Structure 1
Amino acid sequence: MLNQQGSHQLPHAVPTIKDVAKAAGCSTATVSRALAAPEKVSDATRERVNQAIAEVGYAPNIAARNLRRAESKTIVALLPDISNPFFSEIISGMEDVAHQAGYQLLIGDCEHDPARAESYFRLLSTNQADGIVLLTSEIPKALIKRADGQADFPLVMACEFFSDIDLPVIAIDNHQASCQAIDYLVSLGHQRIATLSGPANNPICRERLRGYQDTLSAHGLGDKACVAEGDFSFRSGYQQGLMLLDSASAPPTAIFCHSDEMAIGVLKAARQLDIAVPEQLSVVGFDNIGLSEYCEPELTTVSQPRNEIGQQAMQSLLHLLRGERVIRRQTLSSHLIVRKSTGKVNV
């Protein structure tokens, strides 16, 4: 049979899930979820999909049974940088819960590349993975955001968050943690307190920076704020530390870093400039990675419950996969660990 353009056309082509998605005005993933787990989609979406199924003549019951059999029992943990030691305990906590529930954990390293993140999201749409725990906000929002601001796949965020996408989040109160660190430095007599932030477009860095600024202002030190930006790495801590400490004007007597890696980089910069820590400079990190206790001097840092964050993130994702109710925001406690990199200011 030929169409008007003279090309062959099947007179009775079998309708596909793509045909349903096009007729319903949604993604194929949403159609799949409406078939396999209708309780996980809204009533309006379910009705729209059902109407599209009737319109194109699709066979949903067979598809739904196939989808159930195709469950991968695989969860993806998506990281921005697998070499960062911060993630090790989080992954350990996730693995414990996943293993007990009969799931395997696949580690996806984005390497700060949105295109690499997209390749892992394709595992969901092809039923090679059941859900993703996001440990990074460095992904194209178009991958997960529908018009109503909801996620299009079973997704949970750990440590980080988006301000405009409604995902379950497990994290600490970064503003409060930052306030606690700056309060402590002020209690030691420091007034020239600089901060070495992570990337300015990162929501958790904005929260930590806000805590730094709010606390300085509360102590009447707002005009003494000094902010440098790094990328959480040892190298950026070292480079920005040299810049802050080797300035012609009065250098800071304390530096609050948004990661332990950057703080350790600052310690190296101080050694290179013959600045004694903590006698001339106090340094505070963030995260309490294993190396923070074994560097010289031992690092004062904000401790995150990273293993618990991983466990809670995996449990939340498993609840989503079962169609159970999930708490949208779980805030876990952090605390300041005082070690030898901080001391009273020498006037």
Structure 2
Amino acid sequence: MKKPTMNDVAKEAGVGRGTVSNYINGQNVRDKTKKKIQEAIDKLGYVPNLQARELKTSKNSTVVLIVPTSWTPFFSELVYKMQIELNHNGYRMILANSQNDPAEEEEILKMASLNQVSGVITMSYSDIYNFINIGKNLNLVSIERYVSEDVPLITSDNYNGGKLAAQKLIEMGSRKFLLLRRKVNHANATDLRTKGFTDYINSKHYPVDVFEASLTDNYRAEYKNYIESHYSTEDIPFDGIFSVTDEYGTIIQNALESINKDLLNKVKIIGFDGSSVSMNTPIGLSSIRQPVDEIVKSSVTILLEMINGSPIKKNYKKVLPVSFVKAGTSFK
């Protein structure tokens, strides 16, 4: 099948080839025309010739995406959709896994700065975030984590997500609650999820316990041991569990099932992320879903504005709404 060309895009959009070229190369084009061209690009699946654009404009067409790991459903979905969105906008993506290592993250940022990439989108949970010097040389957008007043922030509504989890567990009939999280060495999104959940449960005067696993690689065993020690008898100490990520919730789900499958009918679990292991595969855990599509589009949109030299207001922050999804839901 023949690949669509710039001429095809121009014909579909009803504009001249030069206008399409200007749009792709980041030059001024009317908003109404931009929309027509982007719709044509999306419809045809057109991918700009990045090498040709770089030669013509002397601009790098690479964006670096930093994630702590790509080995979870949420990060896999984010990475997949981010690459598609950047490709649609004429940029190639380089994926960098920081492994939650501050030194590794710093090296990635230095590499990006030295190679003068177009921009960086980062979703980091490390404790470094000393971007004062590095950030001056980069177009940098952060997902979930506040960096500085000069770095735009795109985030889910984590606090209200925690509240929503509490509301849903109460609706399911739970009355004794447990929240599962890991210790942190800096403030992050899971703190807001925790506060939203505990604030709502406390406002309804129900008991709630919090268990924090360590930051070591042994945290999975810590969750499992905690559950086994509390559900080893016929007593049900907690009939409603909120885990601040789906990963932790799945560990708990498996631990309860290994003790007694009937516990899964008696104990309600809600996680946070709401991504499936693969496209069209139903999620195995009820969850608070982060709006991945909106996170991706918002991150790329604000990054492109920075690349094109548009002024970005200080402390730019976009908070996106979350939703509740039941186990068994699938997404495309």
- Distance in 2 between residues matched to 1:323 and 1:70, nearest whole Å: 15
Identity %: 21
- Distance in 1 between residues matched to 2:66 and 2:214, nearest whole Å: 18
- Distance in 1 between residues matched to 2:59 and 2:114, nearest whole Å: 10
Report SS of the residue matched to 2:211.
Answer: strand
* Distance apart, 1:141 and its partner CA: 2.3
1:234-293 Cα offsets, whole Å, 9 max, x none, are 974564144045228862112101111111111110012115244221111111121496
Aligned with residue 157 of structure 2, among 173, 177, 194 = 173
* Distance apart, 1:309 and its partner CA: 1.0
* Distance apart, 1:106 and its partner CA: 0.4
- Distance in 2 between residues matched to 1:88 and 1:184, nearest whole Å: 27
1:335 counterpart = 2:315: no
Is the deviation greater in 271-280 or in 300-309?
Answer: 271-280
Q: Size of the alignment, in residue pairs?
A: 266
Is the deviation greater in 226-235 or in 205-214?
Answer: 226-235
1:81-113 Cα offsets, whole Å, 9 max, x none, are 122221122223322232123211000111111
Aligned with residue 63 of structure 2, among 63, 75, 88 = 75
Residue 203 of structure 1: aligned partner: 188
Is the 8 Å Cα contact of residues 237 and 263 (structure 1) preserved in structure 2? no
Is the 8 Å Cα contact of residues 273 and 289 (structure 2) preserved in structure 1? yes
Report SS of the residue matched to 1:299.
Answer: coil
Aligned with residue 225 of structure 1, among 196, 208, 227 = 208
Residue 229 of structure 2: aligned partner: 246
Report SS of the residue matched to 2:266.
Answer: coil
Aligned with residue 299 of structure 1, among 276, 285, 307 = 285
Report SS of the residue matched to 1:314.
Answer: helix
Q: Normalized against structure 2, the TM-score is what?
A: 0.71
Q: 1:235–1:263: structure 2 CA closer, same or farther, 3 Å change rule?
A: farther
- Distance in 2 between residues matched to 1:257 and 1:234, nearest whole Å: 18
1:212 counterpart = 2:175: no
Q: Normalized against structure 1, the TM-score is what?
A: 0.68
Q: 1:116–1:69: structure 2 CA closer, same or farther, 3 Å change rule?
A: farther
- Distance in 2 between residues matched to 1:308 and 1:119, nearest whole Å: 29
Is the 8 Å Cα contact of residues 78 and 135 (structure 1) preserved in structure 2? yes
Q: 1:175–1:216: structure 2 CA closer, same or farther, 3 Å change rule?
A: same
Larger Rg: 1
Residue 55 of structure 1: aligned partner: none
Residue 86 of structure 1: aligned partner: 74
Q: Which amino acid aligns with 1:225?
A: V
Q: Which runs of 5 or more residues in structure 2 are unaligned?
A: 1-55
